[in-house]
């Protein structure tokens, strides 16, 4: 098995993709809007991926947060609010906010389950900081670490109720960054004491099954390398101080925060301690080079992958009625508090 999560080029597999994926046996796949036409098409696509892999619980994920980050879009799928709406509800009614975040996540999870996906790149545990770049912005669950942790736990539980695994991101925290890591390398110069706020939600949810690293440099911990490629940050902070022992995947290895070839970036991430690398763009030369450079998945990474996906087999869908109930409950909780989605 290749320690990578790969993207696909379209709504159906090409012949080259089919042959390549059969030989490469990647750990999983990630879908984007280019792969999402409707639920039936997606279910056919994901069924084929599972058949190729021979695993009913094959990791197939998507970035479906709500708000401005949604790959499965209206009018085919419901419109979901940005995660920050639950932070605003929490100001008024904390218990209602936790319930609303949970049922919202369950509804999203049921959308994914109907389409044959069993993983969502959610929740963000990034603590929102004043003056930071808006790349996180209203995607965040709040400014207070324990509020972020409480709402993040609710999101994980909602996804799990739909049979979908969640991914906590972006470890050890992207909320303080003053640049967009899609475009350039953010450098965080906060002190170790200040960074305790950033890692607090991840510590609180350290039992999460999966996490995604941040392409961010933290000078207090490692002035030379971003977290994704820093053995010190992954070993001492993520695995050590935070205590996270779940599956750790990189953020998209193709993002402009990183430099070098895709294969070189991937090797550096794996050598630093990431279990899997995320390669989103379905560029065949990059995927081939990644397979050749990265070799076989490490035993500890395979253990964590198996644990994260245990019980996440994809079966027949019967959640349409429950999804409608979840959306109605979320809307009622928001309306009762006068919070606009």
Specify the CATH class of 2-337 in words: alpha beta
pLDDT in tens, 206-254: 999 999 999 999 999 999 999 999 999 999 999 999 999 999 999 999 9
pLDDT in tens, 38-55: 999 999 999 999 999 999
Q: Is 182 a catalytic residue?
A: yes
- pLDDT at position 96: 98
Task: Give yes or no for a contact between 199 and 177, defined as CB atoms under 8 angstroms apart.
Answer: no
Q: Which candidate in 47, 182, 207, 306 is catalytic?
A: 182
Low-confidence ranges of the chain (pLDDT < 50): none
Tell me the torsion sign for CA atoms 236, 238, 240, 245: negative
> Distance (Å, rounded) from C-alpha 173 to C-alpha 186?
12
- pLDDT at position 170: 97
> Distance (Å, rounded) from C-alpha 8 to C-alpha 283?
9
276 phi and psi angles, rounded to 5 deg: -135, 155
Q: Which candidate in 251, 252, 254, 286 is catalytic?
A: 251
Task: Give yes or no for a contact between 97 and 147, defined as CB atoms under 8 angstroms apart.
Answer: no
- pLDDT at position 204: 98
For residue 149, give Cα distances in angstroms to 98, 101, 124, 287. Answer: 10, 12, 10, 35
User: What is the token pair recorded at 34?
Assistant: 């280019």
- pLDDT at position 277: 98
DSSP 245-304: -SEEEEEETTSTTS-S-HHHHHHHHHHHT-SEEEE-S--HHHHHHHHHHH-SPPHHHHHH
pTM of the model: 0.97
> Distance (Å, rounded) from C-alpha 96 to C-alpha 123?
18
User: What is the token pair recorded at 140?
Assistant: 């965040």
All structural domains of the chain with their residue ranges: 2-337
Task: Give yes or no for a contact between 202 and 211, defined as CB atoms under 8 angstroms apart.
Answer: yes
Task: Give yes or no for a contact between 197 and 227, defined as CB atoms under 8 angstroms apart.
Answer: no
Residue 130's CB is within 10 A of a number of other CB atoms, namely 6
């Amino acid at each position: 098995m290749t320690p990578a999560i790969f993207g696909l080029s379209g709504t159906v597999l090409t012949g080259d993709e089919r042959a390549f994926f059969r030989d490469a046996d990647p750990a999983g796949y990630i879908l984007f809007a280019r792969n999402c036409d409707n639920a039936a098409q997606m279910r056919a696509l994901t069924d084929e991926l599972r058949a190729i892999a021979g695993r009913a619980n094959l990791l197939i994920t998507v970035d479906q947060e709500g708000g401005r980050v949604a790959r499965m879009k209206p009018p085919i799928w419901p419109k979901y609010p940005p995660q920050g709406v639950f932070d605003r509800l929490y100001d008024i009614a904390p218990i209602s906010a936790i319930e609303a975040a949970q049922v919202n996540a369950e509804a999203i999870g049921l959308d994914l389950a109907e389409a044959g996906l069993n993983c969502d790149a959610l929740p963000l545990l990034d603590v929102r900081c004043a003056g930071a770049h808006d790349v996180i912005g209203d995607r965040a669950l709040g400014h207070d670490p324990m509020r972020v942790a409480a709402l993040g736990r609710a999101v994980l539980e909602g996804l799990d109720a739909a049979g979908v695994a969640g991914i906590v991101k972006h470890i050890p925290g992207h909320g303080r960054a003053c640049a967009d890591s899609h475009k350039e390398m953010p450098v965080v110069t906060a002190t170790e004491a200040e960074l305790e706020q950033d890692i607090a939600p991840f510590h609180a949810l350290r039992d999460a099954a999966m996490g995604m690293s941040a392409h961010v440099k933290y000078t207090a911990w490692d002035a030379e390398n971003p977290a994704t490629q820093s053995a010190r940050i992954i070993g001492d902070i993520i695995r050590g101080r935070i205590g996270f022992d779940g599956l750790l995947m990189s953020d998209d290895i193709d993002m402009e925060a990183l430099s070098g070839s895709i294969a070189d970036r991937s090797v550096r991430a794996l050598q630093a301690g990431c279990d899997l690398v995320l390669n989103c763009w379905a560029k065949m030369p990059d995927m081939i080079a990644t397979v050749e450079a990265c070799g076989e998945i490490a035993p500890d990474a395979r253990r964590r992958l198996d644990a994260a996906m245990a019980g996440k087999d994809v079966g027949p869908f019967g959640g349409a009625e429950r999804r409608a109930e979840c959306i109605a409950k979320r809307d009622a909780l928001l309306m009762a508090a006068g919070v606009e989605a």
